[in-house]
Amino acid sequence: MSPVLTGVLMLLLEVPLFLSKARDSGFQLQGVEVAAWRKNLPALDADATRKVPQAIIIGVRKGGTRALLEMLNLHPDVVVARAEIHFFDWDENYRKGLDWYRQQMPVSLPHQLTVEKTPGYFTAPNAAERVHALSNSTRLLLIVRDPAERVISDYTQVLYNRKEHHKQYRPVEEILVRDGKLNGKYKAVQRSLYYIHMERWLRQFPLHQIHLVDGDVLVKDPLSQLQQVERFLQLPPHIKASNFYFNHTKGFYCLHAVGRERCLDQSKGRPHPSVNQTVLHQLCHYFRQHNKNFFRMVGRTFNWC
């Protein structure tokens, strides 16, 4: 089969795959959004291949990883895996092997950077070692936000899921506090102990290979964060202020490119439930020393709590 015909077949196969993944991507799918897929039109080129990612958004959960991925996808030299692959954190997927992982990636040209995001990687015990075994040159993106706010966002996602399925749920205060003390065993709290998880990644990768994105700034000033990411990934500057506009109805920034507009779907940016102020203070107090440990580890401070 000729390279051109092979490219045509690859292109046709990409269409249903793109549409299927886009529906699950966290963004509203519109007819004009097929334009995003057109970055893969070079699949007609015989040099187009599926590559393992050169960059991975490893976390954190409820930190803004979907927004970061979609914003980064504005760049013409970037192609993204729209679904979370869970290759390095789920044993059943990891056992499928490298070829399976590569097949989950979009078609790209040699100059394009392939990026995937799975926020579960950051807290998974084996993920850092597995990523390093694949390639010790992989560039890593970690988006962090106020750990107390992240806990409430984590709870909020579970809360809405239980409500949608008409299941019972407990107020967050009952989960967070046990016998008057903060429940440090709550998974959402454990996920916010950034320095514990970061330590595993720093055993495998030097700090300069891990770029920290400030998730609290990303929602207010996305351009500043994306420009830093462009420099970290050694991409030519492309993303501009005109790519973002504030949607007052939704309360966050949406994307604008190639005559089309996209916003995170209604499952993103949900309002948090009202939380007792005493419990919030307990949460902040619990994280205070953990946050200091993280700041020393990464050589940066963040305006948290």
Peptide bond between residue 60 and the one before it cis (omega within 30 degrees of 0): yes
pLDDT of residue 146: 97
Lookup: tokens for 23: 């529906």
Alpha-carbon distance of 260 to 30, in angstroms, equals 9
| H helices present in 142-275, as ranges | 147-164, 172-176, 187-191, 194-204, 215-218, 222-232
Alpha-carbon distance of 154 to 98, in angstroms, equals 31
pLDDT of residue 296: 98
pLDDT of residue 271: 76
Q: Are strands 55-59 and 113-117 parallel, antiparallel or unpaired?
A: parallel
The pTM of this model reads: 0.85
pLDDT of residue 217: 96
- Beta partners for 144? 214
Over the chain (305 residues), the average pLDDT of each successive run of 10 is 44 41 40 44 71 98 95 97 96 98 97 98 98 98 97 90 84 91 95 98 98 96 97 97 89 82 70 87 96 98 94
Three-state DSSP state, 114: strand
| H helices present in the chain, as ranges | 3-23, 34-37, 65-72, 91-94, 98-103, 127-134, 147-164, 172-176, 187-191, 194-204, 215-218, 222-232, 277-298
